[in-house]
Amino acid sequence: MADGKNDKLVLERFLPYRLSYLTNIISRKLARLYSEQFDITPHEWKVLANLSRHPNISAAKTGEKTAMDKVAVSRAIKGLCDKGLVHKVFSSEDRRRSVLNLTKKGRDIYHQIEPLVTAYEDRLLSILDKDELVQLDHLLTKLTDQAKS
Protein backbone atom coordinates (compact mmCIF):
# COMPACT_ATOMS: atom_id res chain seq x y z
CA MET A 1 0.00 0.00 0.00
CA ALA A 2 2.62 2.47 -1.14
CA ASP A 3 1.64 6.11 -1.01
CA GLY A 4 2.76 6.78 -4.59
CA LYS A 5 5.07 9.65 -3.60
CA ASN A 6 8.22 7.54 -3.66
CA ASP A 7 9.33 3.94 -3.87
CA LYS A 8 10.53 3.67 -0.28
CA LEU A 9 8.98 1.00 1.87
CA VAL A 10 6.97 2.37 4.76
CA LEU A 11 6.89 -0.63 7.06
CA GLU A 12 3.79 0.47 8.98
CA ARG A 13 1.85 0.63 5.70
CA PHE A 14 3.32 -2.55 4.19
CA LEU A 15 0.48 -5.10 4.04
CA PRO A 16 2.49 -8.21 5.02
CA TYR A 17 3.88 -6.36 8.04
CA ARG A 18 0.44 -5.06 9.04
CA LEU A 19 -1.14 -8.50 8.78
CA SER A 20 1.72 -10.08 10.73
CA TYR A 21 1.52 -7.36 13.39
CA LEU A 22 -2.23 -7.86 13.77
CA THR A 23 -1.84 -11.64 13.85
CA ASN A 24 0.80 -11.40 16.58
CA ILE A 25 -1.43 -9.19 18.74
CA ILE A 26 -4.42 -11.49 18.30
CA SER A 27 -2.36 -14.64 18.84
CA ARG A 28 -0.89 -13.32 22.09
CA LYS A 29 -4.32 -12.42 23.44
CA LEU A 30 -5.79 -15.75 22.40
CA ALA A 31 -2.87 -17.63 23.92
CA ARG A 32 -3.60 -15.99 27.28
CA LEU A 33 -7.08 -17.51 27.15
CA TYR A 34 -5.86 -21.11 26.92
CA SER A 35 -2.15 -21.37 27.68
CA GLU A 36 -2.16 -21.10 31.46
CA GLN A 37 -5.41 -22.90 32.17
CA PHE A 38 -4.94 -25.73 29.65
CA ASP A 39 -1.14 -25.79 29.11
CA ILE A 40 -1.61 -25.44 25.34
CA THR A 41 0.77 -23.50 23.09
CA PRO A 42 -0.50 -21.48 20.10
CA HIS A 43 0.85 -24.10 17.67
CA GLU A 44 -0.77 -26.87 19.68
CA TRP A 45 -4.07 -24.96 19.63
CA LYS A 46 -3.95 -24.66 15.83
CA VAL A 47 -3.37 -28.40 15.49
CA LEU A 48 -6.01 -29.23 18.12
CA ALA A 49 -8.61 -27.04 16.39
CA ASN A 50 -7.78 -28.46 12.97
CA LEU A 51 -8.02 -32.04 14.20
CA SER A 52 -11.39 -31.23 15.72
CA ARG A 53 -12.59 -30.06 12.31
CA HIS A 54 -10.62 -32.57 10.20
CA PRO A 55 -10.16 -35.91 12.00
CA ASN A 56 -8.12 -38.76 10.52
CA ILE A 57 -5.57 -36.60 8.75
CA SER A 58 -1.81 -36.82 8.51
CA ALA A 59 0.73 -34.46 10.00
CA ALA A 60 1.55 -33.22 6.49
CA LYS A 61 -2.12 -32.41 5.80
CA THR A 62 -2.32 -30.68 9.18
CA GLY A 63 0.64 -28.53 8.14
CA GLU A 64 -1.12 -27.60 4.90
CA LYS A 65 -4.33 -26.68 6.69
CA THR A 66 -2.54 -24.52 9.28
CA ALA A 67 0.20 -23.08 7.02
CA MET A 68 2.68 -24.10 9.72
CA ASP A 69 6.11 -25.48 8.87
CA LYS A 70 6.90 -29.16 9.37
CA VAL A 71 9.00 -28.61 12.49
CA ALA A 72 6.29 -26.57 14.24
CA VAL A 73 3.64 -29.15 13.31
CA SER A 74 5.83 -32.01 14.50
CA ARG A 75 6.55 -30.32 17.85
CA ALA A 76 2.89 -29.46 18.36
CA ILE A 77 1.80 -33.01 17.60
CA LYS A 78 4.44 -34.44 19.93
CA GLY A 79 3.35 -32.06 22.71
CA LEU A 80 -0.32 -32.94 22.20
CA CYS A 81 0.47 -36.67 22.15
CA ASP A 82 2.57 -36.34 25.32
CA LYS A 83 -0.35 -34.57 27.03
CA GLY A 84 -2.74 -37.31 25.95
CA LEU A 85 -4.76 -34.99 23.70
CA VAL A 86 -3.92 -36.53 20.33
CA HIS A 87 -3.67 -40.15 19.29
CA LYS A 88 -1.30 -41.02 16.45
CA VAL A 89 -1.82 -44.28 14.55
CA PHE A 90 0.30 -45.46 11.66
CA SER A 91 -1.64 -46.02 8.45
CA SER A 92 -2.28 -49.65 7.58
CA GLU A 93 -1.59 -48.87 3.88
CA ASP A 94 1.65 -46.94 4.42
CA ARG A 95 3.60 -47.39 7.67
CA ARG A 96 5.50 -44.13 6.99
CA ARG A 97 2.26 -42.16 7.23
CA SER A 98 0.40 -41.60 10.47
CA VAL A 99 -3.19 -40.59 11.05
CA LEU A 100 -4.04 -38.15 13.82
CA ASN A 101 -7.16 -37.87 15.95
CA LEU A 102 -8.15 -36.15 19.15
CA THR A 103 -8.49 -38.34 22.20
CA LYS A 104 -11.53 -37.94 24.46
CA LYS A 105 -9.41 -35.69 26.67
CA GLY A 106 -8.39 -33.68 23.57
CA ARG A 107 -12.02 -33.26 22.49
CA ASP A 108 -13.01 -32.24 26.03
CA ILE A 109 -10.29 -29.59 26.21
CA TYR A 110 -11.10 -28.35 22.71
CA HIS A 111 -14.75 -27.91 23.74
CA GLN A 112 -13.67 -25.91 26.80
CA ILE A 113 -11.36 -23.63 24.78
CA GLU A 114 -13.67 -23.11 21.80
CA PRO A 115 -16.15 -20.78 23.55
CA LEU A 116 -13.27 -18.71 24.96
CA VAL A 117 -11.71 -18.07 21.56
CA THR A 118 -15.02 -17.52 19.77
CA ALA A 119 -16.04 -14.98 22.43
CA TYR A 120 -12.75 -13.18 21.81
CA GLU A 121 -13.43 -13.22 18.05
CA ASP A 122 -16.93 -11.83 18.66
CA ARG A 123 -15.47 -8.98 20.75
CA LEU A 124 -12.81 -8.26 18.13
CA LEU A 125 -15.31 -8.16 15.27
CA SER A 126 -17.97 -6.26 17.22
CA ILE A 127 -16.66 -2.94 15.86
CA LEU A 128 -17.65 -3.96 12.32
CA ASP A 129 -21.18 -3.77 10.93
CA LYS A 130 -22.76 -6.56 8.90
CA ASP A 131 -21.63 -5.17 5.53
CA GLU A 132 -18.07 -4.70 6.80
CA LEU A 133 -17.99 -8.29 8.08
CA VAL A 134 -19.04 -9.57 4.64
CA GLN A 135 -16.48 -7.32 2.98
CA LEU A 136 -13.72 -8.40 5.38
CA ASP A 137 -14.46 -12.07 4.70
CA HIS A 138 -14.47 -11.42 0.95
CA LEU A 139 -11.20 -9.47 1.02
CA LEU A 140 -9.41 -12.00 3.24
CA THR A 141 -10.51 -14.81 0.91
CA LYS A 142 -9.25 -12.90 -2.15
CA LEU A 143 -5.91 -12.12 -0.51
CA THR A 144 -5.49 -15.70 0.69
CA ASP A 145 -6.22 -17.07 -2.78
CA GLN A 146 -3.77 -14.60 -4.36
CA ALA A 147 -1.07 -15.40 -1.82
CA LYS A 148 -1.43 -19.15 -2.53
CA SER A 149 -1.06 -18.71 -6.30
Could you count the other beta carbons within 10 Å of the beta carbon of residue 7?
6
Is 100 part of a structural domain of the chain?
Answer: yes
State the sign of the Cα–Cα–Cα–Cα dihedral 39, 44, 50, 56. negative
CATH number of domain containing 100: 1.10.10.10
Long-range Cβ pairs for the range 135-143 (8 Å, 24+):
none
Is 135 part of a structural domain of the chain?
Answer: no
Is 31 part of a structural domain of the chain?
Answer: no
What span, in angstroms and rounded, lies between the C-alpha atoms of 149 and 92? 34
Is 32 part of a structural domain of the chain?
Answer: no
Ranges of H-type helices in the chain: 15-38, 42-53, 59-66, 70-82, 104-125, 130-148
Tell me the pTM: 0.85
Mean pLDDT value across the chain: 93
Is 77 part of a structural domain of the chain?
Answer: yes
What span, in angstroms and rounded, lies between the C-alpha atoms of 26 and 49? 16
Is 10 part of a structural domain of the chain?
Answer: no
Least confident of 3-7, 81-85, 107-111: 3-7
Is 142 part of a structural domain of the chain?
Answer: no
Percent of the chain residues past pLDDT 90, beyond the cut: 87
Query: What is the crossing angle of helices 42-53 and 15-38, to 10°?
Result: 90
Is 81 part of a structural domain of the chain?
Answer: yes
- Structurally, the chain folds into a number of domains equal to 1
- 134-148: average pLDDT: 97
Parent domain of 55: 39-129
Residues 116/78, Cβ–Cβ less than 8 Å: no
- Whether residue 134 has pLDDT greater than 60: yes
Residues 43/75, Cβ–Cβ less than 8 Å: yes
- 121-145: average pLDDT: 98
pLDDT attached to residue 103 = 98
- Whether residue 96 has pLDDT greater than 80: no
Structure confidence by residue, pLDDT tens digits, 39-87: 999 999 999 999 999 999 999 999 999 999 999 999 999 999 999 999 9
pLDDT attached to residue 85 = 98
